[in-house]
């Protein structure tokens, strides 16, 4: 597919026994769609059609770099070519891409809002992510400020608005947040913050899987499959706190 930033590769994996649901899977930073094949197969086995997307600068897609705006453009292209989708499933940075594509964060790119959203080991605060990166590479304060202002130039929105726990409050559709307590790349506390966004958000917790092995977990696959295949009446129940699902490995 052609986007403003180049060619984006996708793979369509229809189920042999389709149940009328379709999901877009979005990988994380320094990854590619083949790392989500085990999840794709589990969804296919449940009758869910799957489209895998290689983000710009990753896998078979063209380009040498990636930012949030390019990721959103890639999801928009996938929606126009393969969609609409019943669910977006994003891992790590791919979760941030999926959420912001659904909300229409980037100027001149329409919101592509699926019926449900699945965020696997996704970061809660992009401002915190940017500032952590700046500290890691030793950016001086003026360079850090310019770095963050670039987001406004690219997306038309301030970086400070991109906090998932706040953004999810307005999503108002079922959201499943899956996170491992031993994740060292994106802390479990991020998932807890997202889960407090409202009763439409469920939290599925595991431990011992970390940031990447979570993608190969059968219990994670089952949780995502059940969320997408639905029905999901529990996500609409008036409860005082988010429903927390604990995996068998926890």
pLDDT value at residue 60: 87
Interatomic CA distance for residues 57 and 59, integer angstroms: 7
Spatial contact of 40 and 25, defined as CB atoms under 8 Å apart: yes
Spatial contact of 87 and 23, defined as CB atoms under 8 Å apart: yes
**Burial per residue of 115-143, b for 16 or more beta-carbon CB atoms within 10 angstroms, e otherwise:** ebbbbbbbbbbbeebbbeebeeeebeeee
Global pTM value: 0.87
Q: Tens of pLDDT along 125-162? A: 988 888 887 888 888 888 988 888 888 888 888 888 89
Q: Among 101-105, 120-124, 132-136, where is mean pLDDT lowest?
A: 132-136
Pairing of strands 10-13, 48-53: antiparallel
The pair phi, psi for residue 178, each rounded to 5°, is: -115, 130
Q: Tens of pLDDT along 207-244? A: 999 999 999 999 999 999 999 997 644 444 433 344 44
pLDDT value at residue 234: 42
Q: Percent of the chain, pLDDT > 70?
A: 92
Spatial contact of 26 and 88, defined as CB atoms under 8 Å apart: yes
In this predicted structure, the answer to whether residue 107 has a pLDDT above a threshold of 90 is: no
In this predicted structure, the answer to whether residue 1 has a pLDDT above a threshold of 60 is: yes
Please give the structure tokens belonging to residue 193.
């913050």
Quick check: helix, strand or coil at residue 127? helix
């Amino acid at each position: 597919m052609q986007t403003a930033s180049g060619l984006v590769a996708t793979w369509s994996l229809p189920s042999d026994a389709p149940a009328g649901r379709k999901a877009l899977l979005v990988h994380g930073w320094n990854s590619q769609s083949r790392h989500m094949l085990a999840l794709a197969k589990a969804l296919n086995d449940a009758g869910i059609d799957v489209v895998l997307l290689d983000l710009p600068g990753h896998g078979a897609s063209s380009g040498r770099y990636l930012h949030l705006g390019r990721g959103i453009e890639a999801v928009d292209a996938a929606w126009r070519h393969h969609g609409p989708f019943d669910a977006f499933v994003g891992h790590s940075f791919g979760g941030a891409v999926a959420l912001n594509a659904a909300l229409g964060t980037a100027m001149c790119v329409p919101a592509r809002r699926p019926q449900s959203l699945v965020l696997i080991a996704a970061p809660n605060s992009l401002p915190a992510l940017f500032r952590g990166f700046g500290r890691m590479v030793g950016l001086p304060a003026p360079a850090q400020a310019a770095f963050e202002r670039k987001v406004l130039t690219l997306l038309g929105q301030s970086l400070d608005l991109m906090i998932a726990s706040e953004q999810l409050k307005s999503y108002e559709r079922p959201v499943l947040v899956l996170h491992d307590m031993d994740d060292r790349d994106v802390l479990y506390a991020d998932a807890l913050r997202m889960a407090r966004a409202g009763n439409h958000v469920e939290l599925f917790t595991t431990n011992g899987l970390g940031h990447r092995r979570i993608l190969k977990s059968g219990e994670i696959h089952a949780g995502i499959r059940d969320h997408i295949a639905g029905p999901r009446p529990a996500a609409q129940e008036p409860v005082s706190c988010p429903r927390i699902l604990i995996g068998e490995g926890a």
